[in-house]
Amino acid sequence: MNNSQTKNIVRMDWLSNRTPSGRRSATKARKLAQYFALGRGRAKEQELRPQRGQWLDPAGRPCRHEEVLQWVREQGMSHEMTYQFILSVKETELTAEAFNRAMAAGGPLFDEWRLIQHTDTQYPHAHALAFGDQPVQVKGEAFQSWWLAVRQALEREQVVAIEMQREQALEQARAAAVQQEAELVQQGAGGKQRRLDHEQDGAAGEQSRSSQLQREAALAQEAARREQAERLARQVEAERAQAEAEREHEQDLGWDMGF
């Protein structure tokens, strides 16, 4: 597997656990562990910072930083070399457990380590520390086999993580769609209720207008009856006046004939 086929990084370096005078020392390894967990700076500065990640052992069990420092001191004082590793992927973010499983996929070449994940950089990655007594032949068959197995494991972890992220994105999209549909249904129900209220208001308005028209018609009918009664009264009065005038005329004629 070459670099064009994978999108991950597995690198290793080592340092001697002896001073320039030849005395056994775990100081360099301890400083590495401090840096991996707390970043650069003096010890007092490091103590003020939160830990950058959780240490894991090969079985995936969490380790306290103080326990790791004690383990580093013991291993550094009993082994000639400190090995440091960096594992990284470019397309997604892996958990510390995923990096730890990839480290374990390499087999027994490095069978004891402590690993910590960093998520405060552009590409999430993990550091690991292990110990041995010989410099590693990076072009040798043993290391190449280990390196290839770890990279393949990282690639598998990356594919699984991407698929899980896609599934989560789909679930979120489906949940959002369901929520949006529910909101639309609710809005539709609200619109229907508003239309119903509007129709009821319209019907009430129509009923009110009809009642008003009925009242106006009744008033018009009453006015017409009064007018008709008044005309009839005037007609009766006119007829009475005419009859009275005719009687008076007849009397006048009778009077004249009596002379």
Give pLDDT tens digits for 114-137. 999 998 777 789 999 999 999 999
| Residue type present at position 249 | H
pLDDT recorded at residue 230: 75
Q: What percentage of the chain exceeds 70 in pLDDT? A: 88
C-beta of residue 154 within 8 angstroms of C-beta of residue 104: no
Q: Is residue 245 very low, low, confident or very high in pLDDT (cuts 50, 70, 90)?
A: low
* Residue 186, both tokens: 């609710």
Of 97 and 122, the structure prediction assigns the larger pLDDT to 97
- The mean pLDDT value for 12-32 works out to 95
* Structural domains in the chain (count): 1
Q: How confident is the model at residue 46 (pLDDT cuts 50, 70, 90)?
A: confident
Residue where the block lists tokens 């041995």: 132
For residue 199, what pLDDT band results from cuts at 50, 70 and 90? Answer: confident
Domain membership of residue 57 (yes or no) is yes
Which residues lie below 8 Å from residue 144, measured CB to CB, with a gap of 6+?
138
- pLDDT band per the 50, 70, 90 thresholds, residue 96: very high
Of the candidates 41, 123, 57, 128, the residue with the CA atom closest to the CA atom of residue 90: 123
> Which domain covers residue 146, as residue numbers?
8-167
Would residue 227 count as lying in a domain? no
178 in a structural domain: no
Determine the pLDDT at residue 50.
87
Q: Provide the pLDDT for residue 5.
A: 58
- Round to whole Å and give the CA distance between 214 and 208: 10
Residue 84 placed within a domain: yes
Reduced 3-state DSSP string for the chain: CCCCCCCEEEEEEEEECECCCCCECCHHHHHHHHHHHHCCCCHHHHHCCCCCCCEECCCCCEECHHHHHHHHHHHHHHCCEEEEEEEEECCCCCCHHHHHHHHHCCCCCCCCCEEEEECCCCCCEEEEEEEECCCCCCCCHHHHHHHHHHHHHHHHHHHHHHHHHHHHHHHHHHHHHHHHHHHHHHHHHHHHHHHHHHHHHHHHHHHHHHHHHHHHHHHHHHHHHHHHHHHHHHHHHHHHHHHHHHHHHHHHHHHHHHC
Give me the pLDDT at residue 224, please: 78
pLDDT tens digits, one per residue of 139-149? 999 999 999 99
**Token pair for 185:** 């249904």
Q: CATH number, domain at 66? A: 3.30.930
According to the model, what pLDDT value does residue 253 have? 54
Asked, for residue 41, whether it belongs to a domain, the answer is yes
Q: What is the pLDDT of residue 243?
A: 66
Task: Give the mean model confidence (pLDDT) for residues 170-178.
Answer: 88
Identify the pLDDT of residue 227.
80
| Residue 163 domain-assigned (yes or no) | yes
Confidence of residue 104 (pLDDT cuts 50, 70, 90): very high
The pLDDT score that the predictor gives to residue 165 is 87
Q: Give the burial class of 7: count Cβ atoms within 10 A of its Cβ; 0-12 exposed, 13-18 middle, 19 or more buried.
A: middle
Can you say whether residue 229 is alpha, beta or left, with left for phi > 0 and alpha for psi between -120 and 50 degrees? alpha
Q: What is the chain's mean pLDDT, rounded? A: 86
215 belongs to a structural domain: no
Binned at pLDDT 50, 70 and 90, residue 256 comes out as: very low
Asked if the model's pLDDT at residue 250 lies above 70, the reply is no
Q: For residue 250, tell me if it sits in a domain.
A: no
